[in-house]
């Protein structure tokens, strides 16, 4: 623990200058910076995802992509620019996004007499940089779908989208973000609803089994649903500070966009009918969720299934050019890569052979969230042992064969423990209340999830949320039949609804 003692005073024993319980939002910024994940650049709210952050996104993306393809969807790519008139086609939709649209008005730059660059060549029709793609994909669907034989049409897109956020936060709210957006069309409402819930369930599996973050699947209230949707479902997670994060949404769009975009088909009986559509998406926001769910006072904590590197091997690198520890490390890497996690994935192992002081390298890997750090010194070369540190545990030395044989299990158990820790947190910080005062007192004292029956009245929801600075998160699908007197208007009844402060 030499590095620790060197880089921190006795009273501050963590790798970050700030603990979670001191200032959670500031701690978040420190984690991002210390793990070299991302930064804001010159344009307000536009994030650069640095190699360490992008590597996490690549693992998430490849896993999700395989899941989305396995459920029958094909990838395609639609234009970045949406004609302004397209957005107007669905009234609720445009009103929902108008406030945050980046508008391209010119197609050229020219030099003014003074040598300054000025926008020229005004466009005939102004273009919106996509905030989401329902309207432009709807236009394509209206041409691609002619007959009932063209249905269901199951499409996914990986893309960047732009929403002019006024209060940007790295990963959580950025002007530009990366996401996948699924768009499907069906011949019946029932089938479209099934698809909506199937993708919600896919997101749950990804969040819980790959990100090790327990989530609640639920239905959004009218006030919180996607502009233009009939029903919006979401997976909601609790962060370590008790606030909620919406990690993914799945929308049943009914025939709203089919009518707005004219997505019609000839049914087997010859009749012309409008299709039923869905859309669903998750974004780089997931990385923000990862940080806030698992991070600790030493920095990022990566669950093994989405970690670009699960095991980092740090050979002692000496100035005298003795490469024996590096060779030893490379051999260990190859042996480890032959073993597999419970999920079937191969172990992801990296050797860091830079010539840095041992402590410096070790603490860098800690801040980067590596689950297992193996340190290779002279002793290991001699006696056939491995000295490693599992995040959150003490350093141990065991025989090399034993380590190779058990590494996958250690990582599997560690991921499970991360999940369980989050589950316990959520249980501890969730209360069920039956009176409004009780709810007010709860949020006055701290954060967490409040479960309360709610009638769903939009104006009432708005009033409560403004008064307590909270929001409804969802009506959990698991308790959707649990109906009782509304917390704010006992003359009406409604389902159990989760309330929380949210990111």
Least distance in angstroms from the C-beta of 149 to a second copy: 9
Least distance in angstroms from the C-beta of 75 to a second copy: 5
Q: What is the DSSP letter of 45?
A: T
Least distance in angstroms from the C-beta of 49 to a second copy: 4
Complex with a second copy: residue 69 or 432, whichever CB lies closer: 69
Least distance in angstroms from the C-beta of 231 to a second copy: 26
* Spacing of C-alpha 274 from chain mean position: 33
Q: How would DSSP label each residue in 184-213?
A: EEESSHHHHHHHHHHHHHHHHHIIIIIS--
Nearest to 220 by CA among 477, 459, 423: 477
Instruction: Report the C-alpha gap between 294 and 303 in whole angstroms.
Output: 8
Instruction: Report the C-alpha gap between 70 and 442 in whole angstroms.
Output: 43
Least distance in angstroms from the C-beta of 137 to a second copy: 9
Q: Backbone phi, then psi, for 287, in 5-degree steps?
A: -65, -35
Cα dihedral value 217, 223, 228, 231, nearest 10 = 30
Complex with a second copy: residue 287 or 425, whichever CB lies closer: 287
Nearest to 79 by CA among 125, 140, 143: 140
Least distance in angstroms from the C-beta of 55 to a second copy: 7
Residue 217 three-state SS:
strand
* Spacing of C-alpha 359 from chain mean position: 32
Complex with a second copy: residue 77 or 321, whichever CB lies closer: 77
Complex with a second copy: residue 291 or 498, whichever CB lies closer: 291
Q: Backbone phi, then psi, for 411, in 5-degree steps?
A: -70, -40
Least distance in angstroms from the C-beta of 370 to a second copy: 16
Least distance in angstroms from the C-beta of 115 to a second copy: 9
Instruction: Report the C-alpha gap between 416 and 418 in whole angstroms.
Output: 5
Whether the Cβ atoms of residue 442 and residue 373 lie closer than 8 Å to each other = no
Least distance in angstroms from the C-beta of 146 to a second copy: 14
The three-point CA angle 87-48-296 to 5° equals 110
Q: What is the DSSP letter of 21?
A: T
Instruction: Report the C-alpha gap between 310 and 320 in whole angstroms.
Output: 30
Complex with a second copy: residue 111 or 463, whichever CB lies closer: 111
Residue 82 three-state SS:
strand
Whether the Cβ atoms of residue 15 and residue 8 lie closer than 8 Å to each other = yes
Instruction: Return all residues near 53 (Cβ < 8 A) that are at least 6 apart.
Output: 32, 35, 36, 37, 38, 171, 287
Instruction: Report the C-alpha gap between 85 and 97 in whole angstroms.
Output: 14
Please give the residue ranges that form the binding site for a second copy (CB under 8 A). Answer: 39, 41-43, 46-51, 53-55, 57-58, 74-84, 86-88, 94, 98-111, 117, 119, 121, 126-129, 136, 139-140, 155, 159-160, 162, 164, 175-176, 178
Instruction: Report the C-alpha gap between 332 and 15 in whole angstroms.
Output: 27
Least distance in angstroms from the C-beta of 133 to a second copy: 11
Q: Can you read off the two tokens belonging to residue 414?
A: 């560690």
Least distance in angstroms from the C-beta of 126 to a second copy: 6
Whether the Cβ atoms of residue 153 and residue 144 lie closer than 8 Å to each other = yes
Least distance in angstroms from the C-beta of 284 to a second copy: 9
Complex with a second copy: residue 121 or 398, whichever CB lies closer: 121
Complex with a second copy: residue 81 or 436, whichever CB lies closer: 81
Complex with a second copy: residue 84 or 421, whichever CB lies closer: 84
Complex with a second copy: residue 94 or 329, whichever CB lies closer: 94
Q: Can you read off the two tokens belonging to residue 80?
A: 């970045």
Instruction: Report the C-alpha gap between 53 and 314 in whole angstroms.
Output: 21
Instruction: Report the C-alpha gap between 474 and 247 in whole angstroms.
Output: 12
Complex with a second copy: residue 43 or 444, whichever CB lies closer: 43
Complex with a second copy: residue 136 or 213, whichever CB lies closer: 136
Nearest to 425 by CA among 295, 298, 249: 295
Least distance in angstroms from the C-beta of 361 to a second copy: 14
Complex with a second copy: residue 197 or 345, whichever CB lies closer: 345
Complex with a second copy: residue 125 or 338, whichever CB lies closer: 125
């Amino acid at each position: 623990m030499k590095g620790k003692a060197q880089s921190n005073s006795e009273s501050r024993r963590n790798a970050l200058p700030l603990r979670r319980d001191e200032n959670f939002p500031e701690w978040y910024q420190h984690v991002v910076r210390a793990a070299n994940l991302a930064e804001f650049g010159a344009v307000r709210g536009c994030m650069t995802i640095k190699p360490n952050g992008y590597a996490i996104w690549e693992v998430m993306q490849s896993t999700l992509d395989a899941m989305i393809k396995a459920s029958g969807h094909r990838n395609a790519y639609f234009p970045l620019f949406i004609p302004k008139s397209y957005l107007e086609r669905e009234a609720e939709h445009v009103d929902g996004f108008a406030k945050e649209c980046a508008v391209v008005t010119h197609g050229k730059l020219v030099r003014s007499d003074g040598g300054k660059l000025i926008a020229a060549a005004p466009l005939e029709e102004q273009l919106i940089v996509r905030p989401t793609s329902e309207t432009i994909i709807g236009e394509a669907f209206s041409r691609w779908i002619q007959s009932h034989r063209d249905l269901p049409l199951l499409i996914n897109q990986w893309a960047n989208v732009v929403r002019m956020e006024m209060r940007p936060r790295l990963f959580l709210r950025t002007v530009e973000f990366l996401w996948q957006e699924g768009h499907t069309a069906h011949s019946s409402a029932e089938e479209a609803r099934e698809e909506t819930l199937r993708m919600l369930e896919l997101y749950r599996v990804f969040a819980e089994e790959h990100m090790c973050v327990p989530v609640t699947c639920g239905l959004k209230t009218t006030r919180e649903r996607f502009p233009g949707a009939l029903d919006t479902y979401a997976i909601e997670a609790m962060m370590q500070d008790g606030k909620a994060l919406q990690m993914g949404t799945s929308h049943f769009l009914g025939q709203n966009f089919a009518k707005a975009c004219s997505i019609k088909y000839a049914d087997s009986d010859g009749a012309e009918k409008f299709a039923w559509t869905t859309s669903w998406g998750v974004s780089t926001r997931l990385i923000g969720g990862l940080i806030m769910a698992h991070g600790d006072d030493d920095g990022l904590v990566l669950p093994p299934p989405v970690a670009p590197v699960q095991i980092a091997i740090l050979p002692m690198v000496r100035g005298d050019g003795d490469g024996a520890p590096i060779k030893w490390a490379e051999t260990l890497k190859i042996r480890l890569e032959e073993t597999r996690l419970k999920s079937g994935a191969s172990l992801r192992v990296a050797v860091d052979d830079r010539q840095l002081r041992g402590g410096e390298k070790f603490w860098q890997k800690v801040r980067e969230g590596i689950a297992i750090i193996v340190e290779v010194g002279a002793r290991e070369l001699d006696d056939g042992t491995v000295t490693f540190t599992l995040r959150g545990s003490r350093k141990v030395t065991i025989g090399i064969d034993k380590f190779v044989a058990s590494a996958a299990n250690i990582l599997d158990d560690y991921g499970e423990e991360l999940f369980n820790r989050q589950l316990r947190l959520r249980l501890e910080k969730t209360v069920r209340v039956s009176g409004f005062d009780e709810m007010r007192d709860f949020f006055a004292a701290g954060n967490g999830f409040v479960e309360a029956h709610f009638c769903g009245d939009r104006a009432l929801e708005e009033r409560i949320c403004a008064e307590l600075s909270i929001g409804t998160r969802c009506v959990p699908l698991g308790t959707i039949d649990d109906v009782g007197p509304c917390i704010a208007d006992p003359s009406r009844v409604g389902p159990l609804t989760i309330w929380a402060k949210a990111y």
